[in-house]
Chain A
Amino acid sequence: MEEKRKTERNASGTRLWLGFALLLLALLGFAVWNIVAGSTALSIREVFDGLLNPSSPHRVIVMDVRMVRILPAILLGGALALSGFLLQTFFNNPIAGPFILGISSGAKLVLSVTMIGFLSRGIAVGSVTLILSSFVGAMLSMGFVLAISYQVKRMSMLIICGVMIGYICSAITEFVIRFADDSNIVKLHDWAMGSFASIRWDNIIVIAAVVLPALVITFLMSKPIGAYQLGETYAQNMGVNIKAFRVALILLSGVLSACVTAFAGPISFVGVAVPHLMRRLFKTAKPIVMIPACFLSGAVFCLFCDLIARTAFAPNELSISSVTAVFGAPVVILVMLKRQKEGGR
């Protein structure tokens, strides 16, 4: 018995190291692939040259075309997956996520209004303004979803309400964009569909300054998150201050998804699919494993999807959200089917 348990624990330890090695390898692999692939294909040597030598002829392509897209894909992809994991924990609902619950769309709505308001007066919109307005929108949607979650206990109902909130917000956004000046429309429209294309270096610094601390804070909260997974009653008995914890969880997931929406627009299904795949890969839901795993694989997933978005129908570019949907939505369907089979709600 003891022996068996020991070997089982060792096996899960091995799974842990292999899993993280795999994720890191995939991250590196897709990052490299993303740098070399594109309308101008580069060799690895040219990439290094572009990265290290400021006067290299490849400098512009490597740094200002490719890297400027890869870094946000990594940071924002990770943020999305993490936000999804937090929301799933919060609502005890395996298919919760920022997009599906309408949080991204709420952020998009307030953001569009803000941008149009600023641009029509000829004021440039800074990164901080983007994030703040996006955060306000995310919190508004979250408020609705929370209010609904107190009314309905069925997980499918919560999701349906979230999707409806998402549609309402998208419709109003569409409406608002129609009233914007012509010159703004193109940019807004691109962004409203979801894309990593319009992010600049100064944005990236702000993104990193928001996402990385949020990641660290979330990781440091993995203990109470683990307690919360057992349910509120037990979490409280374990010494978790439930009220403060719930507020922290909402703020963190809100900041993360707002940051994504502010710079890349709404990106669908990453928040739902990635945490589920990671639970499968690591065979655990322990936050101490899931938090880094979700972040890494969210980054990998978005790098992969952005690669397809850029190259599949080049020179035409797909919106990132349509690619993530193609790969993410089936996962959601699988999760629901599995729950059904297990007699879940």
Chain B
Amino acid sequence: MNGTYYISAERMTVGYDGKPLIENISIGVRRGEILTLIGPNGSGKSTILKSMIKQLRLIAGTVVLDGKDMAGLRERDIAKKLAIVMTDRIRGELMTCWDIAATGRYPYTGRLGILSKEDKAIVDEAIETVHAKDFADRPFSAISDGQRQRILLARAIAQQPEIIVLDEPTSFLDVKHKLELLDILKHMVREKQVAVIVSLHELDLAEKISDRVVCVAHNRIDRCDTPENIFRDDYIRSLYGIENGSFHTLFGSVELPAVSGAPQVFVIGGGGSGIPVYRALQRAGVPFAAGVVAESDLDYPVAKALASELLSVPAFSVPSESDARTAADRMRAIGRAICTVPAFGETNAANEKLYEAAKAAGILVSADAFIGRADA
């Protein structure tokens, strides 16, 4: 089964001090492929990674690197193939960023570790790859977390590995740097056919960059599959044990649980215009009804997660006259309405009627009334 895997764990049992944490793990990654580990905190993602890079002693099973049992390989030979970016805080006393990146050349230099001209050129190139030229000469202790993470990646790149293992590389980065880091990884994979194993917390990013996803939870490998098969609302909910709130595969985002109680306002939405208002009402703790939304509408998943009452119609269908009447009755009973729809057309004629009914009844209000931001 592992004929094409560059690195694979075979019936591997991992744990600390001889106590098994996760048993019988069999996963692998091919060159030019990204394998992502997801799962709740403390599920053992780092333990698996540490075991695969020989940082932790295996309790059972083997790790095979490029066709050879890793236990029998010399450290130096492993170092030429496998680079890491771990969460350990690196010390680097009195070292510049360039110096840190240059430590990636370690397996290639001679006894005293003196860098050749070629080594230096490789380090320069790695620094350029991660767009770190501007701060390459600054002390490593004086740069931001995001910059540090890039330098560690440059270090891994300078090592010219066939596989890079990264443990939560995006944890302390802002959105921009997260994207940048993953983009660089993706490039490495595509252009240099590097294999990547990475653990991530951000499900949306995991869904976007992974070729295959390993789900670690409840002391086992719960699933290992393509992102398409993993990122399903119900599965993610059960994987993370989300009881309050929900996960949307399409948006790759999570929603907090709906505010329960009798609706205080009816939100006329559709086409994505309702989402910000749904979320604002949820934040303000105001239970609301939403309608009329088709199940194929952009607003539907969020309305479904957040509204205490939802009037919907099946996907790709247009609300009928009677749907509109039921909604109008309900709206009047609630007594207040917000309309978020900027324009009406053929498919949301029902909502236009609803809007006019609200106006006629004089119950149309602005969303600001509920979110306590009259100045906004």
A338 CB to closest chain B CB (Å) equals 12
Q: Would A230 and B55 count as touching, CB distance under 8 A?
A: no
From 79 to 113 in chain B, residues with beta carbon under 8 angstroms from any chain A beta carbon are 79-80, 82-84, 86, 88-95, 98, 100, 103, 106-107, 109, 111-113
Q: Are B53 and A237 in contact (CB under 8 A)?
A: yes
B88 touches A239 (CB 8 A): no
* With known contacts A234-B103, A238-B79, A239-B76, A229–B113 Cβ distance under 8 A: no
Interface contacts (Cβ under 8 Å), in number, total: 77
Which residues between 250 and 309 of chain A lie within 8 Å of chain B, taking CB atoms? 279, 283-285, 288
Chain B 52-85 per-residue mask, 1 if CB under 8 angstroms from chain A, else 0: 0111000000000000000000111111101110
B91 touches A229 (CB 8 A): yes
Residues in chain A near residue B74, CB distance under 8 A: 239
Minimal Cβ-Cβ distance residue in B for A230: B90
Question: Which of B53, B86, B93 is A285 in contact with, Cβ under 8 Å?
Answer: B93
Does A335 lie at the interface of the complex (its beta carbon under 8 Å from any beta carbon of B)? no
Contacting residues, chain B, for A234 (C-beta < 8 A): 84, 86, 88, 90, 103
- Give the distance in Å from the alpha carbon of A58 to the alpha carbon of B173 in the complex: 72
Determine whether the beta carbon of B133 is less than 8 Å from that of A279: no
Q: Which single residue of chain B is at the shortest CB-CB distance from A284? A: B94
Q: When chains A and B are docked, how far (Å) is the Cα of A234 from the Cα of B112?
A: 18
A241 touches B75 (CB 8 A): yes
What is the distance, in angstroms, from B249's C-beta to the closest C-beta of chain A?
A: 35
Mark each residue of chain B from 102 to 144: 1 if its CB lies under 8 Å from any CB of chain A, else 0: 0100110101111000000000000000000100110000000
Q: Are A231 and B113 in contact (CB-based, < 8 A)?
A: no
How many angstroms from the CA of A279 to the CA of B103 in the assembled complex? 19
Task: Give the interface SS of chain A, mostly helix, strand, loop or mixed.
Answer: helix
Are A238 and B133 in contact, CB atoms less than 8 angstroms apart? no
- Compute how far the CA of A230 lies from the CA of B88 in the bound complex, rounded to whole angstroms: 10
Q: How far is the CB of A37 from chain B (nearest CB, A)?
A: 37
Query: What is the bound-complex CA distance between A340 and B80, given in angstroms?
Result: 39
On whether the beta carbons of A237 and B82 are closer than 8 Å, the reply is: yes
Q: Say yes or no: B106 contacts A238, CB within 8 Å.
A: yes
Band of interface residues on B: 35 or more
Residues of A within 8 A of B91 (CB): 92, 229-231
Q: How far is the CB of A243 from chain B (nearest CB, A)?
A: 11
Q: Is the CB of A285 within 8 A of B95?
A: yes
Output the nearest chain B residue to A94 by Cβ-Cβ distance: B93
Given contacts A220-B111, A237-B82, contact A4 B55 (CB under 8 A): no
Question: Is A317's beta carbon under 8 Å from chain B?
Answer: no
Q: Which chain B residues lie closer than 8 Å to A285 at the CB level?
A: 93-95
Contact with B along A221-257 (1 / 0, CB 8 A): 0110011011111101111110000000000000000
Contacts of A238 in B (CB 8 A): 79, 103, 106-107
Q: Could you say which interface size class chain A belongs to?
A: 20 to 34
Q: How far is the CA of A231 from the CA of B109 in the complex (A)?
A: 19
Contacts of B98 in A (CB 8 A): 5
Known contacts A239-B78, A240-B75, A223 near B106 by CB under 8 Å: yes
Residues of B within 8 A of A231 (CB): 88-91
Residue A181 interfacial (CB < 8 Å): no
B137 neighbours in A (Cβ, 8 Å)? 4-5, 8
Q: Answer whether A239 and B84 are a contact pair too, CB < 8 Å, given A223-B112, A229-B91, A230-B91.
A: no
A1 within 8 Å of B (CB atoms) = yes
Choose among A226, A237, A284 the residue with the greatest number of B CB atoms under 10 Å from its CB.
Answer: A237
**In the complex, what distance in Å separates the CA atom of A200 from the CA atom of B137?**
51
Docked pose: A231 CA to B91 CA in angstroms: 7
Q: Is the pair A227, B136 in contact by a Cβ cutoff of 8 Å?
A: no
CA distance A284 to B93 in the complex (A): 8
Q: List 16 A–B pairs whose Cβ atoms lie within 8 Å, in order of A's numbering.
A: A1-B133, A5-B98, A222-B113, A226-B103, A226-B113, A231-B91, A233-B55, A236-B75, A237-B78, A238-B106, A239-B77, A239-B80, A240-B75, A241-B75, A279-B93, A285-B95
Given A229-B93, A238-B106, A288-B114, 4 new contacts (CB under 8 A): A239-B78, A239-B106, A279-B93, A284-B95
A interface list, Cβ under 8 A from B: 1, 4-5, 8, 92, 220, 222-223, 226-227, 229-234, 236-241, 279, 283-285, 288
**B residues within 8 Å of A by Cβ?**
53-55, 74-80, 82-84, 86, 88-95, 98, 100, 103, 106-107, 109, 111-114, 133, 136-137
Closest 10 CB pairs of A and B: A239-B79, A223-B113, A239-B76, A238-B106, A239-B75, A285-B93, A285-B94, A233-B88, A237-B84, A239-B107
